[in-house]
Amino acid sequence: MFLPQEFISKKRDNLPLSDDDIRAFVAGIKDGSVAESQIAAFGMAVYFNGLSMDENVTLTLAMRDSGRRMRWDDLGLDGPVVDKHSTGGVGDVVSLMLGPMVAACGGYVPMISGRGLGHTGGTLDKLSAIPGYDPFPSADEFRRLVKEVGVSIIGQTDDLAPADRRFYATRDITATVESIPLITASILSKKLAAGLDSLVMDVKTGTGAFMPTLEKSIALARRIVEVGNGAGVATSALVTDMNQPLATTAGNSLETIEAVRYLKGEHRAARLHEITMALCAEMLIAGSLARDEAEARGKLQHALDSGRAAEVFGRMVAEMGGPADFMDAPERHLEAAPIIRPVYADRAGFVSSMDTRGLGMAVCALGGGRRQSGDTLDYRVGLSHFVELGQSLTLETPLAMVHAASEESWQEAARRVRASVALADEAPTVNPLVHRIIRRDAI
């Protein structure tokens, strides 16, 4: 007979856990026979004592198997099923371009995305800004869209890794979110339930990242790569910089418009382009759609220059209920904020550092992000035209444009922007965009 308290005591005393006990505990999380207090106790025991690699793989697979698992082998797909997941940041609009670009190169991308919380923006929120876009199709419709369009970006459904949903909710209120083994199991259980052939992780590091240091970001990336491969899915990771916003915008409608302009070739910010290409290239290599990075980048650039990637995105939006002419003029369908004004610094100088989390919280203060999961968003608001690290500013150079719904919220966001951007007399050393690429054979 399985007793949760005995299972918890083993992890408390740092004793090994059996596969059967881990699966029984996860089953109890799903059916409610394990109490919230017991989930909290186990989470805290793991926070302090960790999990072995085998334990982490078993926990991940058990949470994956607690709900529905997608399958694709019966659809006759002529390419690999691949996906990317980011740990989140500010201006991280990559998924909106990446999915169509990889699909245009022969991959199939069933992307199950989340909503933003706190300073991080959510892919689902950006797409939900599009009138009519339905992020919750039926399982059969999702499969049809992936097969016929090549990519479909949807939200997590109730039957996907339900044990993780309850486990995470408990961790969130018991100070155990920041456990690398539990973060790994939470991320991978949902991604593996999507039936992937390969997964590429984008683990952020810097002032706008979830992990506080480069060392911890690398440690998380390594653990995800090891557990993902141990669970049978080819997994690699890029550790990328989040010491400043990735795109030139932050805010749901603003980022969606930037993604459209990127795909159409109207504007491709250098940092955003490099990270997007690096992640897409890794996906093509992992999915055997390219032999090396040079070939992958060539295929991706052709997908952009030919208009094929933009065509795929437009079709996805239309098939999921959005406007058929969305790519022609997204501004026609996405309402602008009533107040759009620049905010300036109090002195001239070089941009020496950015509190990227602070910039994300400025978007929240405008109503464009959530403080709690149930908050309603104002899709119109946000920030655009960010300065960049190392840029030389005069008193006439805006730090950013603030898109606000009211004068009061504009003032609060402007205050946060000024507090988040530091100036100095000399230009700083700028971090590399990709700190590390971690693959199974390099661990």
pLDDT digits (tens, 9 = 90+) for 217-266: 999 999 999 999 999 999 999 999 999 999 999 999 999 999 999 999 99
| pLDDT digits 0-9 by tens, 378-428 | 999 999 999 999 999 999 999 999 999 999 999 999 999 999 999 999 999
pLDDT of 438 over the 80 cut: yes
Amino acid 268 reads R
Domain segments of the chain as ranges: 4-50, 82-329+435-442, 335-424
Active site residue 85: yes
Over residues 270-291, mean pLDDT? 98
Residue 373's pLDDT band, with cuts at 50, 70 and 90, is low
- pTM for the predicted model, two decimal places: 0.95
CATH of 4-50, one of 3.40.605.10, 1.20.970.10, 3.40.50.300, 2.30.40.10: 1.20.970.10
| pLDDT digits 0-9 by tens, 159-184 | 889 999 999 989 989 999 889 999 99
Residue 163 CA to residue 256 CA, distance in Å, equals 32
* Residue 344 φ/ψ region, left for φ over 0, alpha for ψ in the -120 to 50 degree band, beta for the rest: beta
Active site residue 123: yes
| pLDDT digits 0-9 by tens, 29-43 | 999 999 999 999 999
Q: Are 107 and 121 in contact (CB under 8 A)?
A: no
Q: What is the pLDDT of residue 213?
A: 94
Q: What is the pLDDT of residue 117?
A: 62
- Of 11, 23, 165, 171, the active-site residue reads 171
- Of 85, 299, 315, 416, the active-site residue reads 85
% of the chain exceeding 90 in pLDDT: 91
Residue 208 CA to residue 206 CA, distance in Å, equals 6
- Of 64, 143, 166, 190, the active-site residue reads 190
Q: Are 256 and 96 in contact (CB under 8 A)?
A: yes
Active site residue 216: no
pLDDT of 200 over the 70 cut: yes
* Residue 251 φ/ψ region, left for φ over 0, alpha for ψ in the -120 to 50 degree band, beta for the rest: left
Residue 390 CA neighbour count, 13 Å, CB half: 5
- Of 87, 123, 128, 253, the active-site residue reads 123
Active site residue 170: no
- Of 64, 143, 191, 204, the active-site residue reads 191
pLDDT of 201 over the 90 cut: yes
| pLDDT digits 0-9 by tens, 50-91 | 999 999 999 999 999 999 999 999 999 999 999 999 998 999
What would the CATH number be for the domain defined by 335-424? 3.90.1170.30
Residue 441 CA to residue 252 CA, distance in Å, equals 38
**Residue 54 DSSP label:** H
Domains 82-329+435-442 and 335-424 share a fold: no
Amino acid 198 reads S
Q: What is the pLDDT of residue 27?
A: 97
Helices (H), 65-138: 94-104, 123-128
| pLDDT digits 0-9 by tens, 317-352 | 999 999 999 999 999 999 999 999 999 999 999 999
Amino acid 291 reads R
Active site residue 190: yes
pLDDT of 126 over the 80 cut: yes
- Of 66, 186, 236, 256, the active-site residue reads 186
- Of 11, 30, 84, 166, the active-site residue reads 84
Encoding tokens for residue 73? 């082998």
CATH of 82-329+435-442, one of 3.40.190.10, 3.40.50.620, 3.40.50.2300, 3.40.1030.10: 3.40.1030.10
Report CA torsion sign: 246, 248, 252, 253.
Answer: negative
Residue 157's pLDDT band, with cuts at 50, 70 and 90, is confident
Instruction: State phi, psi for 268 to the nearest 5 degrees.
Output: -130, 100
- Of 21, 64, 66, 83, the active-site residue reads 83
% of the chain exceeding 70 in pLDDT: 98
Residue 17 CA to residue 286 CA, distance in Å, equals 32
Chain centroid offset of residue 121 CA: 8
